[in-house]
Structure 1
Amino acid sequence: MAVPADILRTAVERYLDLHAHPELSGAEHRTAGLFAAWLTAEECSVTTGIGGHGVAGVLRNGDGPTVLLRAELDALPVTERTGLPYASTVRGVMHACGHDLHLAALAAAVTLLARERDSWSGTLVALGQPAEESLTGARAVLTDGLYERVPVPDVVLAQHCAPIAAGTVAHARGPLLAGSRTLEVVLHGRGGHAGAPQLTVDPVVAAAAVVTRLQAVVARETDPAEQAVLTVGRLHAGDQPNVVPDDAELGITLRAFTEDALDRLTAAVERVVRAESEASACPTPPEVTVTGSSPVLMADGATARAVFAAQAAHFGAARMRDWPGGMATEDFPLLGAAGAGLHGRSGIRSVYWMLGTASSAGVAAVPAPVPGNHSPEYAPDVRTALPTGIEALAAAARALLPA
């Protein structure tokens, strides 16, 4: 069944508003207020201010299981270059990952399910999660008592925009997204005059050696059959060209599909950093701190198969795809079984799928790849992707909340 015209029209209007008014992680005040109002209009019991700007709405519909649908509130520090008439009005901030589409789809799915209560039974929880881009939001809402404030779900569901054909839905047979570690490194040198380098210990040179040597951790220390990514995303040292600085700072992200691999990568980074610090005769040992992490995203097999079957019955097999797994990362697994040590609930199953957003218009004539997530030119095909996202969520919820 297609999304009714009035629900779809409202969803599009909401999407355009969200896209034009993005808010960064931890600052999603306006977005959270809008989502709370939309859930209240559907007679949900709404709780706000969870773990910052988190919003949860509960819709009870008789006996049955509890299913939580999650979408994100936050945008990215990216300057939009789409040229769209509804482009971001906030300087340097953009919904470059599709969270605006996720949230509009979730709100519309709640409306659809609220209208069709005779098609399902149980409890529906809609969660607008803050700060996903910083990988801190799921942990924040859980430590702030999410599962004391709403019924504990049996299953948590989410979807994410992906640069595959709009109108399609993709599930993985193995890991969907990688686990990650974020490391902050400080190399301590001895600053001084650029004209007297012999009196200094240059941390910039040590940092450059670290960056170069780290490339071998994946290229020469990791099995080629094992997917892993090591990225030095930030290197900062000094402020003046004629001054050797005291310190150099590096920000490093690790991605892999197993916790063992992440442990090995972390140990390798620490080894390389300490060795290069010593090789450069740095006067003080370096600092290596793990500042963030996220689990590998793996759906519950049986539940994912049930959701896939329901979506395939709704959309038709031609619109269903296999997802090979990706090296992006998510904090969503913490809401389910992977976060049991954090929230104390065991047995919460999770299902996650990818939602196609790439338009096929003109692709054959343009050899360049379609701008993907986090690109300043990222522009989902809203006409096709938004109704698909609404229907995918509703079909999944109905499959797990049978009448």
Structure 2
Amino acid sequence: MSLLDTAHQLNYPQLRRIYEDLHAHPELSGQEHTTAEKILAELRSIDATIHSSIGGYGIVVVLNNGEGKTALMRADFDALPVEEKTGVSFASTVPGKMHACGHDMHTTSLIAVIHHLDNNRHLWRGTFIALFQPSEENGQGALAMVNDNLFAHIPTPDVCFGQHILPGRAGSIMSMPGPIMAACDAIEIIITGKAAHGSMPHNSLDPTYAAAAIVLRLQGIVGREVAPSDFAVISVGTFEAGNSHNTIPGQARIVLNLRTYDEKVRAHLYEAIERVVRAECAASNFTTPPTFRYFGQGPVTDNSHEVFNIVRPLFDAHFCSHSLDATPWTASEDFSYIPRAKNIPYMFWFVGSTPHELWDKAVSEDRVHELVPVNHMSTFLPDFRNTLDGCVHATLAALEGYLGTKD
């Protein structure tokens, strides 16, 4: 008998109530006060040590169950500034805010896992840590918890786990070793020239002209300095210069978004971007050097091969043909700040959330990108039961590899 063998014991009506309540009352990053209170309310009956208000509204739940290894599972619980258009009865009641990325499902499934472990202590041994993280969408929550003495409240785990729902046949599990999600960076570049009247361009040092040249040259970094076998994206998210039709402005602002899977590639992008910007400013004879501000940084999510080799066979045994190879996702996560803080091996996987009928139709017609809502869209909504089962069962399967089964 294993934890998975008893997973049918889940209280689905209660879990649906929790999920629909969270979905209907979304809170943005750094504002998750009520959501945190709701999570704590669902854990009152649990025989565990609970710490709250870590790094903002972060919560950790420690279930001790004798000698053995320690495993941590993380769920995030912030929402997005998106106007919901799903039309469901439990749609967001907060204008302009929505759980459009599935964090409400992550939270509900982790609550389910906690209750299941607490009710079936005879089937496992060791220590389980459930970590509820705020502020994932702005990339600040995991590091904030680490910096707020997270590891003073919990024993150091032997392994850390995380998961994310995304488009795919609901309940399918997608996993892989190595980089599964990209690193991200934002860079704000300020270019200072010299303003002049539009009729006298010769009196200016035009930052708009230089900024436009920089935008074009940036793609040369990706196209000519990064090997085709590597991955890199440089996107210009903001380009601002001037506010008058007859004035050449004195300053321009560019904000970039970077994505990479490799720290060496990431470091090269930093160097190359600054080189290109400084060179274009020098070519325009600017006397004030450009400035660079790095922010919005997130690490590569780089799965441990050792952990993958333990967990993937357990996924395959339980999910059979629905245990799939993941494709690296170019989105980014801050989850790995937690295991990286103590050099803990970790594994992150994806759970399909698209209703079966919709997914099968989209695949058969080769219209997945056209028909299937994706994360951050106003119509993104997981198939509750199949997605919940995928999240819970994947977590329990992974835990089997570390917390084991009592004799």
Judge same fold: TM > 0.5, yes or no.
Answer: yes
1:84, distance to aligned residue in structure 2 (A): 2.9
Distance 1:62 1:129, change over 3 A: same
Task: Assess if the C-alpha contact under 8 Å between 1:166 and 1:381 holds in 2.
Answer: yes
Separation in 1, partners of 2:329, 2:249:
38
Q: How do 1:99-248 residues align onto structure 2 when only pairs under 5 Å count?
A: 99-248=103-252
Separation in 2, partners of 1:239, 1:334:
40
Separation in 2, partners of 1:185, 1:26:
26
1:240, distance to aligned residue in structure 2 (A): 4.4
1:356 corresponds in structure 2 to: 352
Separation in 2, partners of 1:57, 1:11:
18
Task: Assess if the C-alpha contact under 8 Å between 1:11 and 1:104 holds in 2.
Answer: yes
Distance 1:195 1:383, change over 3 A: farther
- Give a deviation string over 1:300-346, Cα, whole Å, max 9, x none: 2222222222232222x11100012121111211211x33xxxxx34
Return the letter of the residue paired with 1:401: L
Kindly indicate whether residue 316 of structure 2 is the aligned counterpart of residue 320 of structure 1: no
1:366, distance to aligned residue in structure 2 (A): 7.8
Separation in 1, partners of 2:381, 2:243:
36
Contiguous gaps of at least 5 residues in structure 1: 340-344
Distance 1:195 1:25, change over 3 A: farther
Separation in 2, partners of 1:319, 1:54:
33
1:8 corresponds in structure 2 to: 12
Distance 1:286 1:370, change over 3 A: same
- Once the two structures are overlaid, the 10-residue window that deviates more, 282-291 or 199-208, is 199-208
Return the letter of the residue paired with 2:375: N
Return the letter of the residue paired with 2:329: G
Return the letter of the residue paired with 2:213: A
Task: Assess if the C-alpha contact under 8 Å between 1:70 and 1:128 holds in 2.
Answer: yes
Q: How do 1:78-117 residues align onto structure 2 when only pairs under 5 Å count?
A: 78-117=82-121
- Give a deviation string over 1:126-172, Cα, whole Å, max 9, x none: 11112112222111111110001112111111101121211100111
Task: Assess if the C-alpha contact under 8 Å between 1:72 and 1:130 holds in 2.
Answer: yes
1:56, distance to aligned residue in structure 2 (A): 0.8
2:337 corresponds in structure 1 to: 334
Instruction: Give percent identity, aligned residues only.
Output: 38
Q: How do 1:322-401 residues align onto structure 2 when only pairs under 5 Å count?
A: 322-336=325-339, 338-339=340-341, 345-346=342-343, 348-362=344-358, 363=362, 364=364, 367=367, 368-401=370-403
> SS at the partner of 1:361?
helix
Task: Assess if the C-alpha contact under 8 Å between 1:109 and 1:394 holds in 2.
Answer: yes
RMSD of Structure 2 on Structure 1 (CA):
2.1
Separation in 1, partners of 2:54, 2:13:
29
> SS at the partner of 2:137?
coil
After the TM superposition, list the runs of 4 or more consecutive aligned residues in structure 1 that deviate by more than 6 angstroms: none
- TM-score w.r.t. the length of structure 2 is 0.91
Distance 1:266 1:87, change over 3 A: same
> SS at the partner of 2:157?
coil
